[in-house]
Amino acid sequence: MREMWSLLAFGAFVLQSAATTLQPSVRLTQGVVSGKYDASNNSVFLGIPYAATTAGENRWKAPQPLSLSKYSALNATAYGPTCPQAVTNAYYSRQDEDCLNLNIWTPARGENKKLPVFVYTYGGAMVTGSNSDPQHQGFNFARKGVVYVNLNTRESLWASPNSADLPGSQNFGILDVDMAMEWIHTNIAHFGGDPNHIVFGGHSSGAVHVDHYLWNHPSTWLKGAVQMSANALSGPAFAPKNVALDVVAAEVGCGTVQQGGQLECLRSVEIADLQTAFFNQTSNTWFTPIIDDITRFSDYPARLKAGKYASHVPLLTGNSAGEGTIFSLVYGAENANFSSWIETFNADSKHIPSEVLLSAYAHNSTSDSSISGMQYGEARFDCPVDYMIDLRSECQSTWEYRFFGAYDNVVGVPGTAPTHGTEVPFFLGGNECFEKLENVTAAQQALADSIHDWFVAWIKNPGAGPGWERARAVDGPIAYLGFPGDELSQIEASSGLHNGRCQEVYKPYFGDYPVVQTTS
């Protein structure tokens, strides 16, 4: 049983070579974690639980510590379960509520020294994703002397129910990250990692998790942070309490909150029964973290001024050059009319007057759906990154990038790259992270090698910077990555070439955050 595992400190890494054993092992207080060797003789440990199951009475509770039960052993050679969600993916492990697990890749070691650690958390709008995603694996880091960890968190309804019956924070995915990071800091030395040299990074909602961690732990021991495409200001942050939950409860016969007993009823419903057609297609996206003034806040400038932010942690952040392109297709008919889109569907822009947005995009000659996608990308990704650079760059060492690699095979939709998420497998080094993609070229792997080399060097020494000048407010240095015609260079340019609408249209209204998400 995974919940019987308590992988605490006081263990010792058992150094064993591939020539003498079929499995690398880590001995901890509660037993031995047995992994496997990869082709480079690096050690891989998969599906290690960092918290108890979230099923049954633990559904919609903060993550619970693992039980201090009897001595046992864990076979960590296969991915653990993916957390329940609407989206199914042929490459993800099976869904189950006993899903709070992590994977570790650790380099082959000829001596007992502590290595830098990179922790990565996936994106997926806080409603989907898995640490078993083949694009997010750690083989390349281990080959270059970095211990790599990726983790699961709860998603969607299981992470953010927004119930009137629950006290305290209901942003359980954020709380999951807190427990995972505590586990890593406590235990990573036994896997060869340095607990005093941990860099935490993520893409999209994973980057949001990283930013929440910096705001929620201003004295953190983190050595560096990576926020690809997003931060704490990305996405809706307020919703009327219990409105979305009532809709789902009605689908499974659990009644309204006013009728009483709703939460107890919902806790007894099986995962598959909660995944109704309506939930999978519509209400899945209603359940995301909200402002609770415990784990997510509405006063970030004031908190920064009061010292309630980890400004001592060096930060690497940036965007793809076409963040919103994919979203011109994702939402189909909903964004076919731009006026209707901004007034009805785009919750990220509820705090900006419609006439301001209509005027800002009036001179774009592309289709309404393309403009809607562009606006979505700027509202949720480009402009939050730009705003936070303006807010924090004077007190925090920050470097900004912009990714131009136009490789449609990464996202799988022709004509959309470089869009949201395109840069991720390049930062993670390609090779095994490219294995499930079609028609990967030598040029793509060369770009991945180039980016991964300096990225790993930065992880090993974040304070030294990644090779270009620090970001500055409004109009500062930015590095072009994968720029057509000179793909392998870091081309230094100016953020002012890209952030005009962010500065003129979005920045004046960030003071009205949080934005509101409704079920209408």
Active-site residues, by number, are 204
SS (H, E, C) 198-254: EEEEEECHHHHHHHHHHHHCCCCCCCEEEEECCCCCCCCCECCCCHHHHHHHHHCCC
What tokens does 462 get? Answer: 């974040």
Residue with tokens 């955050």: 513
By the 8 A CB rule, do 131 and 120 touch?
no
Output the CA–CA distances (angstroms, integers) from residue 131 to 5, 90, 99, in the order listed: 20, 13, 10
Going 351 to 354 to 356 to 359, the CA torsion angle's sign is positive
- Dig out the tokens for 377 from the structure: 């990308």
How many angstroms separate the Cα of 142 from the Cα of each of 38, 105, 147, 418, 513? 10, 6, 6, 27, 40
Kind and range of the H or E element at 166? none
| Burial status of residue 173 (CB atoms within 10 A of its CB: 0-12, 13-18, 19 or more) | buried
Question: Cα-atom radius of gyration of the chain, to the nearest Å?
Answer: 22
Token pair of 315 as six digits: 């930060």
**Read out DSSP for 277-301?**
HHHHHTGGGG------SSSS-S-HH
- Say which residues have a Cβ less than 8 Å from residue 330's Cβ, sequence separation at least 6: 373
Tracing tokens 């893409």 back to the chain, one arrives at 203
Degrees, nearest 5: CA angle 490-202-460: 60
Residue 251: strand pairing partners: none
DSSP letters, 317-385, are: EEEETBTTTTHHHHTGGGGSSHHHIIIII-GGGTTS-HHHHHHHTTT--S-HHHHHHHHHHIIIIIHHH
Strand partners for 478: 493
DSSP 477: E
- Residues in Cβ contact with 158 at an 8 Å cutoff, skipping those fewer than 6 apart: 54, 59, 60, 83, 84, 85, 97, 172
SS3 400: strand
What whole-number distance in Å separates Cα of residue 82 and Cα of residue 46?
12
